[in-house]
Amino acid sequence: MPVHNADIGAIFEEIADLLEIEGANPFRIRAYRNAARILSVLPQDARVLLKKGDDLTRLPGIGDNLAAKIVEIIATGSCSLLQRLHKELPPAVTELLHIPGLGPKRVRALYHDLDVQTMEQLYRAARDGRIRALPGFGEKSELNILQAVEAHVSQARRFKLATAAQYAESLTGFLQKIAGVSQVTVAGSFRRMRETVGDLDILVTASEPGVVMQHFATCDEVADVLSAGSTRASVVLKCGLQVDMRVVAETSYGAALHYFTGSKAHNIAIRRIGQRLGLKVNEYGVFRADARIAGETEESVYRAVGLPYIQPELREDRGEIEAARAGQLPQLVELADLRGDLHAHTKATDGQDSLRDMARTAQALGLEYLAITEHSRHLTVAHGLDPLRLLRQCDEIDQLNAELSGITLLKGIEVDILEDGSLDLPDEVLGRLDLVVGAVHSKFDLSRAQQTERILRAMEHPHFTLLAHPTGRLIEQRAPYDVDMLRVIREAKHRGCFLELNAHPERLDLLDTYCQMAKDEGVLVSINSDAHSSLDFANLRFGVGQARRGWLEKRDVLNTSPLAELLTLIKRTM
C-alpha cells in the first residue's frame, strides 16, 4: 500500500497523543508533533525521497530516530511504538481528543478517574453529571463537553485540501497508467479548491470501463468497496477518505465534469437558465428535446446557456453568473504570476534552512525576490529575534545580496502585535527594514472590539507594511479570532498597507470572502508561503487556489509586481 506523508503524520500525531496521555517527556511529545506537522504539509513525498536514496534527516525536524520510524512506516504501514502504546492504552481513547476543549491532560484525567475510554462513555459521563466533580472541569465544562460530543457525532469527517491532494494525485497517477484511459480529473470541492474536502469525485474516460473499475476496486489504497458497477464505484481509502469514481463517455465528459465539480447552488442556477431556454442540463449533456447539443467540453455546456466559461474556483453562486452575463468575470491570478514571496523564515528562528538555501530554492522556482521575515522576540517558542540579532541578520542579507544574481532578498520581520496594539520591536530597528509584517500570535480571545482596535492601532504604526494571517485561524484546530474585518480592510486602504493571504495549508488565511472584500475596497493582497523550509514554497499553489476562490486577479496581488514596483509600493507604508 502506498504510504503518504499524511499517513506518516497521522501516526506520529497519534503517538504524541498517546505519549501525552501517559504523561511522557514533553520534549519527546513535541518532537513527534513537530514531525507530524512538517510531514502533513511537506510537498515532496517521503517515500519518493527514500526511494531516491535521499537522507531523511535533512528534512526539517527529522533526526535519526524519527527517520528510522519513517522508514519503518513506509515499509510496513505501521510503527512498532504505536502498536506498543495501543497495548498500554485503550485504542479508542485518542478519539476523545477530537472534542474541543479536551487536551491530553483532560483525557488522561477522564480515563484514570472515570474510566472513560470511548466517545459513548464520555457522553454518558457528561449526561450523568459525573465530569463536573473532577478537578479542573466544573458544570460549565461538562455542558460544553456534552454539546461538543453531540456536534462531533453529527459531523462528517473532512480533510484539509493539502492532505486530500496527496491522495488525489496518487489516485490520478494510478488511473492514468491503466491501458485505455485517456482522461482523469478530480472534480468536486477539490477542483474548486475548497479549504477542506469531504470526499473525492473522480471522472475518467476509457475505452474499456470494466478494466478501469476492476483496477480501481483492487487498488492498494482501498480499504472498503461500498459499491461497484459497470461504470461507477464508491470506495473508502485506508485513511478514511471516500472516493467516488465514474467512467463516462467522451461525448458527456464536459457535462459530467461540470455537474460533479459543482457547487450544487451553481449547478441549480445553470439548470434554471437552461430551462428558460428550453434546454435540459444534466451530467450527460445539454439537450433540446431528445437531441444532445452540448456536453463534450465544459465550455460547450456554458456556451449552450449563453455564458462564457466560468473557472471552477468561482462556482459557488456568489455572483459569478451575473458577472459572466455582464462580461465581467475576473482573469484569475495564476501561480506563474507571482514574482516573489514576502513571508519566509530561516534557521535563525524556527525555520530549517539557511538564507542562502532559501534564496536558491526561491530562485529555482522562478521568484525574483524573497522577504526574510523571522519572528520577533516576543514569540520565544520560535526563538524570535531581538534588535541585535535582527540587525546582524540585516548585515548578512546585505552581504548575500552582493553575491546573488537573479534574486533579491528583502529585509523584514514578522513582528508580534502586542495586546495594546504596539509592535514588539523599537522604531529605530523597524526603520532599517524593507518591510514589516505584523502578526497576532497571542490573546486570541479578546472581544471583537478589543481585537479590532488592537490591529487598527498596529496598522497606524509608521513602519507597518503587511498584516499576516489576518484572522489567526488554523483550519479545524483554532477558530478565527473575532475581528471586524471590513474595518481592518478599510484601515489598510486608508493607511496604504496590505493584507496577507497565508498559503500554509493549515491557515489559508485570508478567507475567500475577505479576499473579495479586499478586492472591492482596493486593498492589495500578498500571497505568501510562510515558508519555514525551502520545501514549503510548493504550498504557494494552495494560496493561489484560495485567491482564485476570492476572485483575485493578478492586479489585486501585491507580489505579482516586479521588484522595482514592489519597493515603490511598500515604501509608501514605511
Q: What pLDDT, in 10s, does the model give residues 74-130? A: 998 889 999 898 888 776 677 788 787 788 888 888 988 888 888 888 888 998 899
Q: Give 389's contacts (C-beta < 8 A, 6+ positions apart).
A: 348
**Torsion angles phi and psi, residue 437, rounded to 5:** -100, 115
pLDDT in tens, 165-214: 999 999 999 999 999 999 999 999 999 999 999 999 999 999 999 999 99
Q: Is the dihedral of CA 515, 370, 473, 413 positive or negative?
A: negative
Phi, psi of 466 (to 5 degrees): -145, 135
How many angstroms from the chain centroid is the CA of residue 356? Answer: 27
Q: What is the pTM of this model?
A: 0.83
CB 234: neighbour CB atoms within 10 A? 17
pLDDT of residue 470: 97
What's the CA gap between 546 and 528, in Å, rounded?
12
Give me the percent of the chain exceeding a pLDDT of 70: 98
Strand (E) positions, 406-524?
408-416, 435-439, 466-467, 498-502
**What is the pLDDT confidence band of residue 1, given thresholds at 50, 70 and 90?**
low
Q: How far apart are CA 320 and CA 263, in angstroms?
A: 12
Please state, in angstroms and rounded to a whole number, the distance separating the CA atoms of residues 279 and 198: 31
State in Å, rounded, how far the first CA of the chain is from the last one: 54
CA nearest to 58, candidates 469, 352, 401, 445: 352
Cell digits of residue 83: 502498536
Nearest C-alpha neighbor of 344 from the set 124, 502, 109, 522: 502
Q: Map out the domains of the chain with their CATH numbers.
A: 5-154 (1.10.150.110), 159-247 (3.30.460.10), 252-325 (3.30.210.10), 335-571 (3.20.20.140)
Number of Cβ atoms within 10 Å of the Cβ of 219: 16
Joined together, the cell numbers standing for residue 569 give 509600493
CB 541 within 8 A of CB 335: yes
Grid coordinates of 179? 491501458
Q: How confident is the model at residue 38 (pLDDT cuts 50, 70, 90)?
A: confident
Nearest to 301 by CA among 258, 261, 250, 247: 258
Residue 355: strand pairing partners = none
Neighbours of 99 (CB within 10 A): 21
* 388 φ/ψ angles, rounded to the nearest 5 degrees: -65, -45
291-294 and 285-288: which strand pairing? antiparallel
